[in-house]
Amino acid sequence: MAKLVTGLFKTRAAAEAGVDALIKRGYTRDDISVLMSDATRTKGIPEHRAKVYDASLRAGGILVGVEAKSDDEADKLEKLLEDLGAEHVRQE
């Protein structure tokens, strides 16, 4: 079952690097969600996670999410986003 992997970046440049890295792993821009405002509940992010992200989004953070193709891939994506500096990286 595919899992949503999300991570919060502090800058636009860092978020763009995250998106580029996901594209290099074979994901398309259609597979990737990028949020820069309080819209987490409309993107399939559970409410308890949305509360964590909302304050950071209001402060200018950028949330990047992608539906992993497998559980193993979700683990790899989680590490990738963390290595790129994302905070609050989670699988749902």
pLDDT 10s digits, 71-80: 999 999 999 9
Domains of the chain, CATH where assigned? 4-91 (3.30.70)
Which residue's structure tokens are 């699988």?
A: 91
What is residue 42's predicted lDDT score, i.e. its pLDDT? Answer: 53
Sign for the pseudo-dihedral over CA of 7, 3, 31, 81: positive
Task: Name the pTM for this structure.
Answer: 0.85
pLDDT, tens digit (0-9, with 9 covering 90-100), for 21-46: 999 999 999 999 998 876 655 566 77
| Contact by Cβ (8 Å): 3, 91 | yes
